[in-house]
């Protein structure tokens, strides 16, 4: 059925919401309540063309999952008005296209990629990726914690070569580094998580696919360079718990190697940069001004779970289980007692509760108050603020099995760099890790020991009233 712009404009609210994607008109009224990103993100485009907004975060095959009963007709896409925020985005995109990004060979550290990303990413993408909670104290302190630890180089060690290989949940990794779950990677590059998978495969790394991935897991798995390349699935527990069960079953069917349940964000943090950007976008009849991308994406996460959720997941799958978001030694011990395969010391990149302590400090808590965890079969990972090879080595020397990077992977995708940008970023990190292992006199990761670092400055921040 051919529809006119007037026909579609009559359906621009929560009671009747139509959107246009590639000339096809969909009635998504009933879908609003179950959209993983929340209803409000769709309502912005009610009665309008949502093609560019859809393509920026979704793979085309997602449309095939929509019931045919949602189709209402067709229209020439050029006849349908776009939203005001899309007009603003288009304007700024044209400005960026006039200035080509620098050649990858001129980028020599991970901070260079961040600067490029800030310049070339759309404003809403930069705000979503970069923003931290409140005053962003935790975000900054994550990095500062590493600067408080000094290395203790050794001389005359005769190191002809170094081996950076390790094992993450039984899967080989060429570096003690993995791709942390990062949502909506299509904001950074059209290939999104698929570009990350391609780069990770060629570099021999593990990738954790975000619960809010812009690419379906089946497509990401097809991008792998071999069937043995490990992809793990992140899991947020949905308010409608059956949706989380479906995520686990779908991941296991697709061939995921582990489930990483994220527990450090039961509610979304107050990410003011993200929210402030959206103040410029007019609110819909049911939208709240200042509703950032992060808050909309997290609207379906359930805050009503406890440690028993691990028992529930174990009933769904036998895949290895990692708890991501441990922020104190007490919870690290509880996780161990529940028999998980791994934990991630993380404060969500400083995006949840501001002034939450740096994950590196949590690692020192474990060393002091529960050292048996470091000798157990439970692997300990850490993320947040890692930008240098020396950061990686400090974490490993203090007992971490591997470290996760999130934002650097997104930043290296941006400005059109895609897979090549990610591989360039990893080559820089790899070189820093290898060179500094030589300085420390270590030929492999197992030779990285606590005595290779001086953590006295950071240890002064340890509390003395922990009760286990």
Q: Could you tell me the pLDDT band of residue 37, with boundaries at 50, 70 and 90?
A: low
285 lies in the same domain as 399? yes
Structural domain contains residue 89 = no
Q: Could you tell me the pLDDT band of residue 290, with boundaries at 50, 70 and 90?
A: very low
Structural domain contains residue 101 = no
Q: Could you tell me the pLDDT band of residue 334, with boundaries at 50, 70 and 90?
A: very high
**Mean per-residue pLDDT for 135-163?**
95
pLDDT for 354 beyond 50:
yes
DSSP state of 100: P
386 lies in the same domain as 453? yes
Out of 19, 49, 82, a domain closes at: 82
Structural domain contains residue 59 = yes
C-alpha to C-alpha distance for 346 and 336, rounded to whole angstroms: 16
Query: The pTM is what?
Result: 0.86
**Mean per-residue pLDDT for 200-212?**
97
**Angle between the 418-440 and 389-397 helix axes, to the nearest 10 degrees?**
50
Structural domain contains residue 96 = no
Q: Which two tokens stand for residue 138?
A: 């935790």
49 lies in the same domain as 143? no
427 lies in the same domain as 301? yes
Catalytic site positions: 236, 264, 348
**Helix H or strand E encompassing 25:** strand 24-27
Look at the alpha carbons of 68, 70, 72, 76 in this order and tell me if their dihedral is positive or negative: negative
* pLDDT the model gives residue 23: 85
- Higher pLDDT, residue 271 or 458: 458
Q: Which domain holds residue 357?
A: 123-459
pLDDT for 303 beyond 90:
no
pLDDT for 380 beyond 60:
yes
- Higher pLDDT, residue 207 or 92: 207
3-state secondary structure 201-215: HHHCCEEEECCCCCC
150 lies in the same domain as 274? yes
Query: For residue 136, what are the CA distances in angstroms to 239, 269, 362, 387, 395?
Result: 28, 11, 19, 17, 22
C-alpha to C-alpha distance for 40 and 295, rounded to whole angstroms: 10
9 lies in the same domain as 138? no
* pLDDT the model gives residue 433: 98
40 lies in the same domain as 189? no
CATH number assigned to the domain comprising residue 21: 3.10.120.10
* pLDDT the model gives residue 224: 97
User: What percentage of the chain has pLDDT greater than the value 90?
Assistant: 65
77 lies in the same domain as 145? no
pLDDT for 326 beyond 90:
yes
Q: Which two tokens stand for residue 380?
A: 């300990």
Q: Which two tokens stand for residue 441?
A: 């006199």
**Residue-averaged pLDDT of the chain:** 88
Structural domain contains residue 348 = yes
Write the pLDDT tens digit of every residue in 100-126: 899 999 999 999 999 999 999 998 899
- Higher pLDDT, residue 29 or 198: 198
141 lies in the same domain as 75? no
Which of 127-141, 275-289, 353-367 is predicted least confidently? 275-289
- Higher pLDDT, residue 167 or 25: 167
Out of 20, 49, 82, a domain closes at: 82
pLDDT for 214 beyond 50:
yes
Q: Which of 52, 6, 46 is nearest to 27 (CA)?
A: 46
Question: Pairing between strand 166-168 and 171-173?
Answer: antiparallel
Structural domain contains residue 15 = yes
* pLDDT the model gives residue 81: 61
**Angle between the 84-97 and 123-130 helix axes, to the nearest 10 degrees?**
90
272 lies in the same domain as 180? yes
Question: Pairing between strand 24-27 and 16-21?
Answer: antiparallel
pLDDT for 68 beyond 90:
no
257 lies in the same domain as 367? yes
List of E strands, 161-307:
166-168, 171-173, 177-179, 206-209, 231-235, 259-262
Which of 6-10, 36-40, 220-224 is predicted least confidently? 36-40
Question: Per the structure, how many domains does the chain have?
Answer: 2
26 lies in the same domain as 159? no
pLDDT for 79 beyond 80:
no
C-alpha to C-alpha distance for 300 and 294, rounded to whole angstroms: 11
Q: Could you tell me the pLDDT band of residue 82, with boundaries at 50, 70 and 90?
A: low
pLDDT for 286 beyond 50:
no
Structural domain contains residue 64 = yes
Q: Could you tell me the pLDDT band of residue 65, with boundaries at 50, 70 and 90?
A: confident
C-alpha to C-alpha distance for 399 and 96, rounded to whole angstroms: 44
Structural domain contains residue 180 = yes
């Amino acid at each position: 059925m051919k529809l006119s712009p007037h026909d579609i404009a009559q359906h621009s609210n929560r009671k009747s919401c139509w959107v246009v994607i590639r000339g096809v008109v969909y009635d998504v009224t009933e879908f609003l309540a179950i959209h993983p990103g929340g209803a409000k993100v769709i309502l912005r485009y009610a009665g309008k063309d949502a093609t560019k907004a859809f393509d920026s975060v979704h793979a085309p095959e997602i449309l095939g999952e929509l019931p045919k009963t949602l189709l209402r007709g067709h229209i020439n896409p050029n006849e349908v008005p776009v939203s005001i925020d899309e007009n603003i985005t288009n304007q700024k995109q044209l400005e960026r296209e006039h200035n080509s990004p620098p050649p990858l060979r001129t980028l020599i550290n991970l901070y260079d990629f961040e600067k490029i990303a800030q310049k070339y990413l759309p404003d809403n993408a930069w705000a979503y990726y970069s923003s931290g909670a409140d005053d962003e104290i935790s975000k900054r302190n994550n990095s500062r914690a590493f600067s408080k630890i000094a290395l203790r180089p050794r001389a005359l060690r005769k190191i002809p070569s170094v081996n950076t290989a390790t094992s993450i949940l039984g899967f080989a990794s060429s570096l003690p580094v993995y791709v942390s779950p990062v949502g909506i990677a299509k904001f950074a590059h059209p290939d999104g998580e698929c570009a990350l998978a391609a780069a990770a495969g060629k570099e021999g790394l593990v990738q954790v696919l975000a619960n809010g991935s812009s690419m379906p897991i089946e497509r990401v798995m097809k991008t792998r360079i071999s069937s043995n390349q490990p992809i793990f699935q992140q899991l947020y527990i949905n308010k409608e718990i059956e949706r989380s069960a479906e995520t686990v079953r779908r991941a296991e069917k697709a061939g995921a190697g582990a489930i990483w349940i994220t527990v450090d964000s039961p509610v979304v943090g107050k990410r003011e940069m993200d929210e402030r950007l959206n103040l410029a976008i007019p609110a819909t009849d049911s939208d709240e001004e200042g509703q950032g991308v992060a808050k909309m994406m997290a609207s379906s996460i359930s805050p009503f779970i406890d440690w028993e959720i691990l028992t529930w997941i174990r009933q769904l799958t036998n895949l290895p289980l990692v708890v991501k978001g441990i922020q104190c030694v007490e919870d690290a011990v509880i996780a161990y007692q529940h028999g998980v395969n791994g934990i991630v010391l993380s404060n969500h990149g400083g995006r949840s509760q501001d002034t939450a302590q740096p994950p590196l400090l949590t690692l020192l808590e474990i060393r002091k108050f529960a050292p048996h965890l470091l000798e157990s079969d439970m692997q300990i990972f850490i993320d947040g603020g890692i930008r240098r090879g020396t950061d990686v080595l400090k974490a490993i020397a203090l007992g971490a099995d591997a470290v996760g990077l999130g934002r650097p992977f997104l930043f290296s995708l941006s400005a059109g760099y895609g897979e090549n940008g990610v591989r360039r970023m990893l080559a820089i990190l790899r070189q820093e890790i290898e060179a500094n292992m030589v300085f420390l006199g270590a030929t492999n990761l197992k030779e990285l020991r606590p005595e290779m670092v001086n953590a006295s400055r950071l240890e002064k921040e340890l509390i003395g009233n922990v009760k286990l």
